Amino acid sequence: MARPALNTLATKDEFVRLCASGRLKDALRRPFRGVLWSDAARLFSHLFRACRALRPLRQLHAFAATSGAATDRFTANHLMLAYADLGDLTVARDLFDRISRRNVMSWNILFGGYIKNGDLGSARKLFEEMPERNVATWNAMVAGLTNLGFNEESLGFFLEMRREGMHPDEFGLGSVFRCCAGLRDVVSGRQVHAYVVRSGLDRDMCVGSSLAHMYMRCGCLQEGEAVLRMLPSLSIVSCNTIIAGRTQNGDSEGALEYFCMMRGIGVAADVVTFVSAISSCSDLAALAQGQQIHGQAIKAGVDKFVPVMTCLVHMYSRCGCLSDSERVFFGYCGSDTFLLSAMISAYGFHGHGQKAIELFKQMLNGRAEPSDVTFLALLYACSHSGLKEEGMDCFELMTKTYGLQPSVKHYTCVVDLLGRSGCLDEAEALILSMPVTPDGVIWKTLLSACKTQKNFDMAERIAKRVIELDPHDSASYVLLSNIRATSRRWGDVSEVRKAMREKNVRKEPGVSWVELKGQIHQFCTGDESHPRQKEIDECLKEMMAKIRQCGYSPNMGMVLHDMEDEEKEVSLSHHSEKLAIAFAFLSLPEGVPIRVMKNLRVCDDCHAAIKFMSQVTGREIVVRDVSRFHHFKDGRCSCRDYW
DNA sequence: ATAGGGTTAG
């Protein structure tokens, strides 16, 4: 673009445009030739706002001072605003003190400066001292407290504002809903909603989006969508709210549908849109769609934005493409905690504990400040790679050196870490002594460890506790019956089933991890609500047909687990999982070895099934040392009794 | 006549 000749006289509009586009020098060189001095204050205000750093602002400040404009209240207010935005509250305060006849604006600007910079103490003090407060003052207080995470206080100020007879306007209501969303307080949210409707502000785009977001955050997806449908038009924010809301409420497929619809009607996606859309691809492990959206992000020029990169790292990891996560990550040399944590998490997810630790060491060497999120990713990585010492060191570093308060999730990783390395008692002692309330997950983690360590007595004890904690959680019963089955106490297994029947607990469909074509897919067998269920069902149907064609019974198949060692374990499980695995076998790429490991209970039927799989896939399936583990009960394979 | 206060995401 050709620059205008700078020796010509500027119109005010041109001047404002130059300031807004950050071309401060050009702007400065032009207007003071022949522009009326009465306009100087207004022109300065544009200049101040255009400053992106303190240095040019100080230069301008000095210039304004020599020309006498800085004593003007209007100019001083603007100067103060510019300093406050750049975080220099000392100068802002100094300017404020020098203003002889301050107006509400002067007070509001300094107040806003304190609160935006997180100096709540000075903000409160100023708030008390203010001779006059208006709606903007209160709005700033409510928004500021919400931003700083003081949601209860924020809501309290909003109520006080109403008591003082102040009428909240469209500028402040957005923050109130944001604060209700943070508190998951749909009751207060609804009350404010009623006020919004009464005051006719419910058609404001900004109020509407935040209101809808509040409902969605509180789990009321339909109510949120209804609010957005009532708005006079679509904005990028309201579209983003729908996509994020659907993703967070478990409707990732719906989120992607909406994303595609946006393209169709020509609403341009922004960074937030891409972040949410890519997140929903992670949930669905939808690689193809994720790649496509990645491509769109490149086209839109937002693929190098840190939050987008973070989501991409996560998405590729969840889809089994660790090398693509790395490709995205290695294009970045900055120091964002979220992004680095996402890569650590990806390494952990894929069992590369050492690589996770190496990356963490980069953080310790000053690349980025580790947070609770980082430590969670790292602890997970250690527990899933069997790195007990490293994991415990990391936990100590987190609590002692960084003084971070571990959540129950952190403790669960440590319990997993201890449990997998055989320290069951230590793990139990940790749960009993930790300062946070243990949840079902942490006990179930310990129960799982009991199973792997074959400590059946402890397992019985923990299982009792877990079932007492939530008598309707089928997972605990399943785990217990698995444990009893492992020790071949079939009578006790039937007892668990009986207990489930009595308490009317329905077994949830099992969740399986399967590697397909180099990607990892998670799916719930027989779970109709699972987003990939349709696809899985189709493959299963195809598989069933083939099985029948060959004259075999359809409930033969196997489950493929990710194992600690390089090989894949094939174990027998219940009907639907067997079929899922049959599907997995069919889809495994050439060259991936299929080995049936020796610690299996395999009967003749199962041998036949393996043979059959080999026929269908045209691949060799190596069966190793199965003879020792034949296990029959009443002349039938135990797998028949298994659920 | 101007300025101050607002929504969505990792």
Categorise residue A83: left if φ over 0, alpha if ψ from -120 to 50, beta otherwise. alpha
**Which residues are CB-neighbours of A203 under 8 A, at least 6 positions away?**
A230, A231, A232
In three-state form (DSSP H/G/I as H, E/B as E, the rest C), the secondary structure along A180-234 is HHHHCCHHHHHHHHHHHHHCCCCCCHHHHHHHHHHHHHCCCHHHHHHHHHHCCCC
In angstroms, how far is B6 C1' from A380 CA?
A: 39
Residue-level pLDDT at A43: 76
Residue-level pLDDT at A16: 64
> A171 falls in which pLDDT band (50, 70, 90)?
very high
d(CA A510, CA A27): 66
Domain boundary among A310, A332, A354: A332
* Co-location of A497 and A529 in the same domain: no
Does the pTM surpass 0.85? The reply is: no
Neighbours of A556 (CB within 10 A): 20
Residue A166 lies in a domain: no
* Co-location of A266 and A281 in the same domain: yes
Residue-level pLDDT at A396: 96
What is the overall mean pLDDT for chain A?
A: 80
* Co-location of A520 and A589 in the same domain: yes
d(CA A211, CA A234): 15
Structural domain harbouring A496: 433-508
Q: What mean pLDDT comes out for the span A397-421?
A: 95
Strand B bases near protein CB (under 7 Å) are 1-10
d(CA A280, CA A273): 11
Q: Is any atom of nucleic acid chain B found less than 7 Å from the CB of residue A224?
A: no
Residue A10 lies in a domain: no
Going by C-alpha positions, the residue among A438, A437, A388 that lies closest to residue A414 is A388
* Co-location of A518 and A623 in the same domain: yes
Residue-level pLDDT at A444: 92
* Co-location of A487 and A603 in the same domain: no
Q: Is any atom of nucleic acid chain B found less than 7 Å from the CB of residue A317?
A: no
Considering only CA atoms, which residue is closest to the C1' of nucleotide B9? A272
Residue A357 lies in a domain: no
Q: Is any atom of nucleic acid chain B found less than 7 Å from the CB of residue A272?
A: yes
Question: In this predicted model, what pLDDT tens digit does every residue of A440-453 receive, in sequence order?
Answer: 999 999 998 998 88
Residue A397 lies in a domain: no
* Co-location of A439 and A547 in the same domain: no
* Co-location of A525 and A617 in the same domain: yes
The total number of structural domains that make up chain A: 3
Higher pLDDT, A189 or A564: A189
d(CA A244, CA A547): 42
Q: Is any atom of nucleic acid chain B found less than 7 Å from the CB of residue A241?
A: yes
> What angle (nearest 5°) sits at the alpha carbon of residue A514, between those of residues A510 and A519?
140
Domain boundary among A332, A357, A386: A332
Is A438 in contact with A406 (CB distance < 8 Å)?
Answer: no
Residue A618 lies in a domain: yes
**Which of A 77-106 have CB under 7 A of nucleic chain B?**
77-78, 81, 103-105
pLDDT at A362 exceeding the cut of 90: yes
**Which of A 134-173 have CB under 7 A of nucleic chain B?**
134-137, 139-140, 143-144, 146-147, 169-172
End-to-end CA distance of chain A: 72
Residue A102 lies in a domain: no
**Which of A 276-315 have CB under 7 A of nucleic chain B?**
276, 279, 305-307, 309-311, 314
In angstroms, how far is B1 C1' from A24 CA?
A: 24
**Which of A 18-57 have CB under 7 A of nucleic chain B?**
41-42, 45, 49
Over pLDDT 70: what percentage of chain A? Answer: 72
* Co-location of A518 and A636 in the same domain: yes
Going by C-alpha positions, the residue among A474, A463, A469 that lies closest to residue A503 is A474
Residue A401 lies in a domain: no
Is A536 in contact with A511 (CB distance < 8 Å)?
Answer: no
In angstroms, how far is B7 C1' from A142 CA?
A: 14
pLDDT at A188 exceeding the cut of 50: yes
Q: What mean pLDDT comes out for the span A177-186?
A: 97
Domain boundary among A332, A347, A382: A332
In angstroms, how far is B7 C1' from A164 CA?
A: 25
Range with lowest mean pLDDT among A224-233, A273-282, A485-494: A485-494
**What is the secondary structure of A307-353 as a DSSP string?**
HHHHHHHHHHHHTT-HHHHHHHHHT--S--HHHHHHHHHHHHHTT-H
pLDDT at A1 exceeding the cut of 90: no
Residue A380 lies in a domain: no
CATH number of A479's domain: 1.25.40.10
Q: Give the burial class of A126: count Cβ atoms within 10 A of its Cβ; 0-12 exposed, 13-18 middle, 19 or more buried.
A: buried
